[in-house]
Chains A and B, each alone.
Chain A
Amino acid sequence: EAQVTQNPRYLITVTGKKLTVTCSQNMNHEYMSWYRQDPGLGLRQIYYSMNVEVTDKGDVPEGYKVSRKEKRNFPLILESPSPNQTSLYFCASSSRLVNYGYTFGSGTRLTVV
């Protein structure tokens, strides 16, 4: 089944403790992206990648890092999480043809205390 898989689904952590949220897709998509979803703010793009080793900042990149060493994986790294990064995070992937739209993962609910 074609899908985007994120892990973990739920995560509670403490301020300052580094964490990684993994994302993997099995559709051979060139593009991958991370979003955060907050009430009243909709989805905001954190980082996106157009190919292996090619990444770019989205609208809210501060406090996040990404890497794209393999085509199928696009992990999101929080080096020093803070409470304002408590959010619902979505990974998504797409072919390079814009018409097909993005396929989204199930989301990771992160709480930073």
Chain B
Amino acid sequence: AQRVTQPEKLLSVFKGAPVELKCNYSYSGSPELFWYVQYSRQRLQLLLRHISRESIKGFTADLNKGETSFHLKKPFAQEEDSAMYYCALSLSNAGGTSYGKLTFGQGTILTVHP
């Protein structure tokens, strides 16, 4: 069964400092990885998809299959980045059709101090 681990429940940095939120997964196949963000009292929003290799709000994430990791990084944190961040894993067939099951990690609360 697939599993997602976010080892840090809490992460605090100062504004302008680099930030890295760790995510490790366990699955022997080729999963699809995502980062979701939840700002205070708001719904979860999709932040990044590994397949698109995009940069959103200055965040990037690289899939490292050898280390089974998908860490989220930002070179200069901003106060508005303070939120709960979830790493998630989904499985699909060779054609990209999802099997429907999305597994989340426990989440990391990021606090960016002024």
What residues of chain A have their CB less than 8 Å away from a CB belonging to chain B?
A: 31, 33, 35, 40-45, 48-50, 56, 58-59, 90, 92, 94, 96-107
User: Counting CB contacts under 8 A, is B25 at the interface?
Assistant: no
A34→B45 CA distance, assembly (Å): 15
Minimal Cβ-Cβ distance residue in B for A56: B100
Are B46 and A97 within 8 A (Cβ)?
no
User: Counting CB contacts under 8 A, is B81 at the interface?
Assistant: no
Are A101 and B46 within 8 A (Cβ)?
yes
Are B97 and A96 within 8 A (Cβ)?
yes
Minimal Cβ-Cβ distance residue in B for A3: B43
Q: Name 6 interchain pairs, CB-CB below 8 A, sorted by A.
A: A43-B44, A90-B43, A96-B97, A98-B92, A99-B52, A100-B49
Residues of the A chain whose Cβ atoms lie less than 8 Å from the Cβ of B91: 98
Size of interface on B: residues with Cβ below 8 Å to A: 28
Interface of B is mostly: strand
Are A40 and B9 within 8 A (Cβ)?
yes
A-B contact sample (9 more), CB < 8 A, given A99-B52, A103-B46: A42-B107, A45-B101, A48-B100, A59-B103, A94-B98, A99-B49, A104-B36, A104-B45, A107-B43
Are B43 and A102 within 8 A (Cβ)?
no
**Contact A104 to B106, CB < 8 A, known contacts A31-B98, A99-B51, A99-B52:** no
User: Counting CB contacts under 8 A, is B96 at the interface?
Assistant: yes
A35→B101 CA distance, assembly (Å): 11
What residues of chain B have their CB less than 8 Å away from a CB belonging to chain A?
A: 6, 9, 32, 34, 36, 42-46, 49, 51-52, 86, 90-92, 96-98, 100-107
Are B49 and A90 within 8 A (Cβ)?
no
Are B43 and A105 within 8 A (Cβ)?
yes
Residue from B32, B36, B42, B44 in contact with A99 in the complex, judged by beta carbons closer than 8 Å: B32
A103→B90 CA distance, assembly (Å): 14
Are A106 and B43 within 8 A (Cβ)?
yes
**Contact A102 to B100, CB < 8 A, known contacts A40-B106, A42-B107:** no
Residues of the B chain whose Cβ atoms lie less than 8 Å from the Cβ of A104: 36, 43-45
